[in-house]
Amino acid sequence: ATSFNDAIVAARSLNAYTIETPDAALVAADAADAARASGDLKPLSGIPLGIKDLFATEGVDSTSGSNILRGFKPPYESTVSGKLKAAGAGMLGKLNMDEFAMGSSNETSAYGPVISPWKRNDGGNAALTPGGSSGGSAAAVSAGLAPGVTGTDTGGSIRQPAAFTGISGIKPTYGRCSRWGIVAFASSLDQAGPMARTVRDCAILLENMTGFDPKDATSLDLPVPQWEAGLSSDLKGKKVGIPKEYRIDGVPDEINAIWDRGIEWLKDAGAEVVPISLPHTKYALPTYYIIAPAEASSNLARYDGVRYGLRETPEGGNLDAMYSATREAGFGAEVKRRIMIGTYVLSAGFYDAYFNKAQKVRTLIKRDFRDAFRQCDLILTPTAPSAAFGLNEKMSDPLAMYLNDVFAVPASLAGLPAMSVPGGLDGQGLPLGLHLIGNELDEQGVLNAGLAIE
Ligand code: GLN
């Protein structure tokens, strides 16, 4: 009994869940037993899943990792989590995350950081971040606290934490998963997706998360492909592009070595590997860090102390005083930084120089990919320019934190499907991810190449 309790204490010390809902998981397990007895099992009958805290879950706290939404229990369910539940899944709880999904280390959460279950093999015991913003999701799967979870990816938040924790995660084509009921960060970039231990599990979960939703104006009106049935690690006839612009200075040799190994694995699976160029890659990170904060500053205007969550009413203050006291108390430092960047780049005097320019560069980045996919079917790169870093290592240096997204954001800006799969361990024994980018709607190609690597 002691060791069981110890295991629970150890599991909770990762801080992966913001709230646990074991009863919901048990109800689904009982329903699965009944379904098995009556012969109508559903695709996910009884499977317990963790749900990232920015999915609205009916009657259960949904706070997007923010104090401004603390205690908010939505009276409705997000389309994606609703689909998983309709497929028979149960909810284990809500998963910790960077506040409003802004971050790459899960350290901006109002609930405190998530600790990665991984440690460096240097004999030390230094706590590492699981990456972010889906850090609770990644840690939960990696530590065996959920067989599968939902994440969201605006600029890498599924892929980078998957890479840091040695699991798989896929962001589908923009529009595949409904954004309805997902707390908005940057609406033109936000996409939900699954994270799990295997590529097959990702395919199964993705099938049960996607589909047209009239409640999301950007939802794609397309049938859901049978990705699991379509899985094949035979890549004969496929061309994999290797973009030379992703060989950037300062990336550890070990990451390039894993990339080279990934190239060999794809060749072994029958693929032909071709060099490609994505010439505007170096502008992707600054473009993302203009567009994402701009959209965020607009989306976050709704947290005004009137409609949701926190309300601060200073003595004798008017409505404006309530707005600012609420936002001052409710938002963390990174969220405030994003609001300031966003309102600045959208302001009348700077709109053309920043936001408008960034939109134009985004089009060029999309064109790079369109041109590249005339020469190849898939693109292989590393997922992140480093392995998991230590807690507090980058929190005082936002630019260093942003740089960690350098390989992830181009596919986000282009709305393309992209996946991280485990590529191997570095010299410290930490996982490194390989990153597959597919053409629009080609999740199958991405999953199949992921399977070949896995
Ligand atoms: N790390 C990136 C950011 O902070 C991406 C986050 C995300 O994909 N939600 O904006």
Task: Give per-residue pLDDT as tens, 210-234.
Answer: 999 999 999 999 999 999 999 999 9
pTM higher than 0.90 for the full model? yes
Q: Which of 333, 346, 339 is nearest to 304 (CA)?
A: 339
CATH classification at residue 287: 3.90.1300.10
**What is the domain extent for residue 112?**
1-454
Residue 309 pLDDT exceeds 90? no
Q: Note whether ipTM > 0.95 here.
A: yes
Question: Closest ligand 1 atom, CA of 288?
Answer: 10
Q: Ligand 1 pocket test: pick from 98, 158, 182 the residue with the most ligand atoms within 8 Å of its Cβ.
A: 98
CA 105 to ligand 1 center in whole angstroms: 9
pLDDT in tens, 112-140: 999 999 999 998 899 999 999 999 999 99
Total domains in the fold of the chain: 1
d(CA 158, CA 397): 22
Q: How far is 115 from 389, CA to CA, in rounded Å?
A: 11
Looking at the annotation, which residues are catalytic? 52, 133, 157
146 in Cβ contact with 134 (< 8 Å)? no
Our CA angle for 323, 329, 331, nearest 5°, is: 90
Answer yes or no: is the C-beta of 175 below 6 A from any ligand 1 atom: no
Average pLDDT of the chain is 97
191 ligand 1 Cβ < 6 A: no
Which residue's entry shows tokens 């409904």? 178
Of 99, 154, 164, 297, best ligand 1 pocket probe by most atoms within 8 Å of the beta carbon: 154
Residue 1: the pLDDT is 56
C-beta of 405 in contact with ligand 1 (< 6 A): yes
Band (pLDDT 50/70/90 cuts) for residue 3 is confident
Q: Is any atom of ligand 1 closer than 6 Å to the C-beta of 106?
A: no
